[in-house]
């Protein structure tokens, strides 16, 4: 089998796994997760607070929801499921941006194109930041969970997995996004001309991570309750059997 055929087979398998995952997940969870990812990438271009040592974007309003749901999915289905769901949300975000950009140009609404689709630098920065942070969150969550061998499904294990992985991933997400979007990319013609300093980037990364961690801690009892109900119903049996069938 040549490399092209092998890659095609892997893509088909990932699509089959994603389809099984979406059949297993409650539709509300999938819809809320995709909404949160699209909304936080859209809101991230607006600066809510700008101080010499700190700046905060509006993406912080919904990013906690995306990572809370991601932690629940990873705990029950594994890191691979979190990666697949993240890729789906990214694809929807890119499609939404493309459609708005086309509509703005075809119907001569430059404000729509500029607001949603025109700022390629923000879109690229948010996509790169989210991919890296989602991978950080998913594998940190699983890695921390491996340390709880006696009671991996207990409240302490869930809290440690969720809180540590959320904090790490949010530091990565916040810093990568603002550094790329507001420090590196503005040097390129055509990019959004909003400039931040490095102290603002570090301040935003830490402050955003702490705020999102606090929000996740507040809602973690709901996440733990959802996980227990999923285990009781043996949710995702089809997906787990497909994963066990081979790579």
Q: How far apart are CA 21 and CA 19, in angstroms?
A: 5
Instruction: Tell whether the model's pLDDT for residue 116 goes beyond 70.
Output: no
Residue range 107-130: average pLDDT? 73
Of 176, 83, 167, which Cα lies nearest the Cα of 129? 176
Instruction: Tell whether the model's pLDDT for residue 226 goes beyond 80.
Output: yes
Per-residue pLDDT, 15: 87
pTM for the model stands at 0.84
DSSP 115: I
Per-residue pLDDT, 106: 78
Instruction: Tell whether the model's pLDDT for residue 34 goes beyond 90.
Output: yes
Higher pLDDT, 225 or 115: 225
Q: How far apart are CA 223 and CA 226, in angstroms?
A: 5
Core vs surface per residue 216-237: b (16+ CB within 10 A) or e: beeebeebbebbeebeeeebbe
Domains contained in the chain, CATH given: 3-244 (1.10.1760)
Q: How far apart are CA 196 and CA 44, in angstroms?
A: 14
Q: Kindly compute the dihedral angle of the four CA atoms of residues 59, 60, 61, 62, in this order, to the nearest 10 degrees.
A: 70
Q: How far apart are CA 10 and CA 84, in angstroms?
A: 13
The runs of H, that is alpha helices, within the chain are: 3-24, 27-43, 60-77, 79-106, 110-112, 120-145, 155-179, 198-232, 237-244
Q: How far apart are CA 65 and CA 36, in angstroms?
A: 6
**Percent of the chain at pLDDT exceeding 70:** 91
- Contacts of residue 128, Cβ cutoff 8 Å, sequence gap at least 6: 176, 180
């Amino acid at each position: 089998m040549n490399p092209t055929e092998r890659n095609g087979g892997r893509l088909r398998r990932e699509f089959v796994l994603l389809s099984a995952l979406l059949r297993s997940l409650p539709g509300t969870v999938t819809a809320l997760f995709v909404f949160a990812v699209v909304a936080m990438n859209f809101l991230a271009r607006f600066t809510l607070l700008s101080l010499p040592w700190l700046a905060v974007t509006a993406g912080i309003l919904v990013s906690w929801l995306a990572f809370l749901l991601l932690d629940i999915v990873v705990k029950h289905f594994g890191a691979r499921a979190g990666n697949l769901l993240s890729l789906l949300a990214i694809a929807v975000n890119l499609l939404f941006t493309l459609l708005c950009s086309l509509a703005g140009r075809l119907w001569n609404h430059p404000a729509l194109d500029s607001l949603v689709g025109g700022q390629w630098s923000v879109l690229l920065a948010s996509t790169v930041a989210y991919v890296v942070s989602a991978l950080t969150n998913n594998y940190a969550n699983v890695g921390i969970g491996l340390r709880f061998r006696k009671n991996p499904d207990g409240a302490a294990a869930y809290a440690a997995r969720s809180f540590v992985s959320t904090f790490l991933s949010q530091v990565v997400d916040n810093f990568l996004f603002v550094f790329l979007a507001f420090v590196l990319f503005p040097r390129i013609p055509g990019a959004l001309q909003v400039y931040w300093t490095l102290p603002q980037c570090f301040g935003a990364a830490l402050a955003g991570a702490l705020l999102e961690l606090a929000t996740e801690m507040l809602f973690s009892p709901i996440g733990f309750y959802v996980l227990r109900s999923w285990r009781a119903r043996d949710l995702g049996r089809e997906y787990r059997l497909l994963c066990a069938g081979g790579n």
